[in-house]
Structures are given as C-alpha cells and as structure tokens.
Amino acid sequence: MNLTDKLNAQLFRYPPSQKPELLNPLVLAYVGDAVYEMFIRQYVISMPSQRPNHLHRTATRYVSAKAQSKALLALLPLLTEEETDIVKRGRNAKSGSTAKNADVLEYRHSTAFESLIGYLYYKQAYERLNYIMEASLAPEKITALAASESEAGPASNQPGGTDAGTGRVQADASEEPEAAGADPEAPSDAHKL
C-alpha cells in the first residue's frame, strides 16, 4: 500500500454513503465546515503569535460567514462548471437556520463555499481542494488576478500568485487578515451566482 492509499484510508475511514455528487449540499457543507476549520486552524498555528486568544480571533476572520462569502465571490470566475454547480446547489439549499453575524446572502454564500470544500474533500480532489483553500486566504489577490485575466483573455482555471515552496497564495507581508466584513463601497459580485 503506497502513502496516498494509506492517507486515504486514514482520511476516509467512513466514506459517504453515496457519491459526492448525490449528497445533499447541506451534508457537503457540514463536512466542508469541518475541513475548512481544520485548515484554518493549522494555518493560524503556523503564524508566529500562538496565544490562544489571538489564534481564535485570527481564525474567526477566515471562517466567518462574511469572510467565506467574500472568498467565494472572488473564486467564482476561477471555478470549473462542475464546481459552480455544487456552489449553486449549496447556495440554494434550505438550511433551516439563520446567520448570527451575517446577512442572508452572505450566509448562503458561506454555505455554498463550505459545500464546495466538502465536495472536493469527498471527491478526494486534494490538490484542487488545497488550491481553493489556499486561495481563500487572500480573496483580494484572486479578485485582482481574475480582473487581469479577463482583460488579457482566457487563462488557466487556477488562481495564481502562489509561493512555489508552499503553494500558498501570497498576501503582502504587511497585510493583516481582513476582518470579517465586506467593504460597503466595493461593488457587489453577488449577481454572479
């Protein structure tokens, strides 16, 4: 058994009862929430300051409905047709719960983002999953990249600006993770869904 098979056996001790394409989008969001939370926790622990309160505040900036919505809107132009379909299903799913610190649209976009993460996880599309999660760390970079690609013509379906050593989307060193909240002056991309 090679390393990938061993890893899959550990990560998928209990595989889903059906193909990921057939799972309810809220089920995908349920697992996507856990996968993304773990990714973000690992990310913030990799930062220099590891005081528990600081870790929690920093992680919250990424896992909030507002931050996930912003990341999804930035990623939309870079998603495949299959991924866009999962996002739409996640956005349109009736969750039965309401957002605490976000409006309804942000909450639905957040659910859609988590559905995409859950879908890629269950598809075992680890490279793409990692790419999407890394890109979500710097949505403003993705937005700029997508704008430049649309001006230059069709390009790859992958976000760019990654560090060759880590694969992480690079934000400026001086940038703090943006607090959960969208710029009210910024144009809305909500119509793209």
Q: For residue 90, give the nearest of 18, 23, 17 by alpha carbon.
A: 23
Active site residues: 33
At residue 50, the 3 state secondary structure works out as: coil
What are the beta bridge partners of residue 62? none
When computed from its CA atoms, the radius of gyration of the chain, rounded to whole angstroms, is: 16
How many Å separate Cα 2 from the centre of its chain? 29
Task: Answer yes or no: are the C-beta atoms of 36 and 63 closer than 8 Å.
Answer: yes
Query: Using CA atoms, how far apart are residues 113 and 107, in angstroms rounded to an integer?
Result: 10
* Angle of CA points 175, 38, 72, to nearest 5°: 55
Query: Using CA atoms, how far apart are residues 160 and 75, in angstroms rounded to an integer?
Result: 11
Phi-psi map region of 131: left, alpha, beta (phi>0 left; psi -120 to 50 alpha): alpha
